[in-house]
Amino acid sequence: MQYDVVSLKLWLHTVAAVLTKIMGKN
């Protein structure tokens, strides 16, 4: 179960990073 939590956190972190890059370009 902990692996799922870690994967979710990593996924959210990746999404946040992508959104930050998009916001930076705009």
Q: What is the pLDDT of residues 1-26, one digit of tens each?
A: 678 999 999 999 999 999 999 999 76
- The pLDDT assigned to 18 comes to 97
Q: What is the pLDDT of residue 16?
A: 97
End-to-end CA distance of the chain: 38
Q: Is the pTM of this model over 0.75?
A: no
For 1-26, letters b (16+ CB in 10 Å) and e give eeeeeeeeeeeeeeeeeeeeeeeeee
Domain boundaries, the chain: 1-26
Contacts of 3 (CB under 8 A, 6+ apart): none
Per-residue pLDDT, 25 = 79
